[in-house]
Amino acid sequence: MESTKVSLWKIFSAYLMVGLTAFSMAILQKLKSLVIRNKWLSEEEMNEGLALVQLYPGPIMVDFTAYVGYKLRGVAGAVAATVGFILPSFFMMLALSFLYFSASNLAWIHLVFSGLEALVIGVIFNVTLDMGAKVIKGKIEAVIALLAFAVLLFKINSIWVVLVSLALGALFIRSKAKTATIPASKTFLPLQRWIGISFVSLVVLLVAVFSWFLKSDVASLALSLFKIGSVAFGNGTTIIPLIQTDVVNGHHWLTMSQFADGIALGQITPGPFLITSTFIGYKMGGVFGAALATFAMFSPSFVMTLIFTELFVHIRNLKAIRGALAGVLASFVGMLSFVILDLSTAILKTPASFAMTALAFIAVRWFKLDVIWVFTGGLVLWIGLVAMKIV
């Protein structure tokens, strides 16, 4: 039942503050602390939400934000929470994108960002190892990961990799999945919420149709991100391979270096990591392109969150779904490995760049430093090396 005790403004402003201050690994902790501190949900409801948002495509942190807002105030609450969370990083990335592309003809900018690009590789390498340790639990998962890596080497569309991995996981990993014990709901979804969900779904569909008829590179990018947002599971990092396949390898809208820079800027700004979509959209079509790309990236899973929040309690046996999820997450290990190979080939050209990648990896893996400090400290060190003409 909707809570009338929490105002939409309070939801919006609370998540706006999180979006302004939460970086990388601290985001989930801040999101959970916000819910607990305000006593918005019980711990059981919060944990149920964290489990729920892993069962369908989309960036987990943004979807969890939408889930909490929806539980508090229905569709309006979900919109308030999600917009509040994304808005600060959107405007920051907009400003950074303007500065980046305005100064792109300056040689020293490329030299400085080459250090950030090397740091990105080290951070992604650590994420890949961590993810591999969590999801590669047997021979089937290992085979799926290897197949995903091999398939991308032959430049096959990564969407097919996701779909095949979902099928393989559902078929062959079902016996290892846990059966859900969540009781079925005894109430039907209120008509008001059905109307709200239908309206939001219609808006997303209309924007997608508008992009289809627009017939431009910006529209093509939006359609690509709508597609990726509809099929990509996990956190921001796991969705990188799908974006790279379309944006860099497929359409050549960005160079590999620009893509790595966009990833780096997404890491050093607070809020959701996939705000990199704003960077890509700005490159393609200025402020309008940035807004459309951001909407396309986050809106499909936003709609799924509204629907799945209501359907979750009605699902008695999740074995096939969890098996499919295990399969697709295993494929992301292989796809992330391919991203590392692609980035390394394009970026690591000097001993200093290899050293920066190694330092970033060591800092996050063994010293457990937050990536914001890795990028800040690494960039300062790199600028020092550039000033001394060592690189």
* Full domain range(s) for residue 306: 8-387
* In a domain? residue 135: yes
- Looking at residues 184-212, what average pLDDT do you find? 81
pLDDT band at 1 (very low <50, low <70, confident <90, very high): very low
Say how far apart CA 172 and CA 362 lie, in whole Å. 36
pLDDT band at 141 (very low <50, low <70, confident <90, very high): very high
Say how far apart CA 25 and CA 360 lie, in whole Å. 15
pLDDT of residue 218: 96
pLDDT band at 186 (very low <50, low <70, confident <90, very high): very low
| Element (DSSP H or E) covering residue 79 | helix 60-102
pLDDT band at 315 (very low <50, low <70, confident <90, very high): low
Radius of gyration in angstroms for the set of CA atoms belonging to the chain, rounded to a whole number: 21
* In a domain? residue 303: yes
Token pair, residue 284, equals 């393609």
pLDDT band at 5 (very low <50, low <70, confident <90, very high): confident
Largest distance between two CA atoms of the chain: 70
Per-position DSSP letters for 220-287, written without gaps between them: HHHHHHHHHHHH--SSHHHHHHHHHIIIIIIS-SS-HHHHHHHHHHHHHSSS-GGGHHHHHHHHHHHH
The average confidence (pLDDT) of the chain is 87
Total structural domains within the chain = 1
Alpha-carbon distances of 28 from 75, 142, 187, rounded to whole Å: 22, 28, 31
Question: Looking at the predicted structure, is the pLDDT value of residue 15 above 50?
Answer: yes
* In a domain? residue 3: no
* In a domain? residue 2: no
* In a domain? residue 17: yes
pLDDT of residue 43: 83
Instruction: Name the nearest CA neighbour of 227 among 246, 210, 201, 250.
Output: 246
Question: Looking at the predicted structure, is the pLDDT value of residue 7 above 70?
Answer: yes
pLDDT band at 184 (very low <50, low <70, confident <90, very high): very low
pLDDT band at 320 (very low <50, low <70, confident <90, very high): confident
- Looking at residues 300-325, what average pLDDT do you find? 79
pTM, full prediction: 0.84
b/e string for 100-139 if b means 16 or more Cβ within 10 A? beeeeeeeeeeebbbbbbbbbbbbbbbbbeebbeebbeee
Say how far apart CA 131 and CA 180 lie, in whole Å. 23
206 sits in the region (left: phi over 0; alpha: psi -120 to 50; else beta) called alpha
**Considering the chain, what percentage of its residues have pLDDT values greater than 70?**
92
* In a domain? residue 1: no
Residue 21 and residue 13 in contact, taking contact as beta carbons nearer than 8 Å: no
Alpha-carbon distances of 280 from 232, 259, 352, rounded to whole Å: 18, 8, 28
- Looking at residues 159-171, what average pLDDT do you find? 89
pLDDT band at 301 (very low <50, low <70, confident <90, very high): very high
44 or 141: whose pLDDT is higher?
141
pLDDT of residue 187: 45
* In a domain? residue 117: yes
Question: Looking at the predicted structure, is the pLDDT value of residue 185 above 50?
Answer: no
pLDDT of residue 217: 94
* In a domain? residue 88: yes
b/e string for 363-389 if b means 16 or more Cβ within 10 A? bbbeeebebbebbeebbebbeeebeee
- Looking at residues 15-35, what average pLDDT do you find? 85
**Out of 70-74, 185-189, 268-272, 310-314, least confident range:** 185-189
Burial of 341 (0-12, 13-18, 19+ CB in 10 A): middle
- Looking at residues 27-51, what average pLDDT do you find? 86
- Looking at residues 272-278, what average pLDDT do you find? 91
303 or 371: whose pLDDT is higher?
303
pLDDT of residue 316: 46
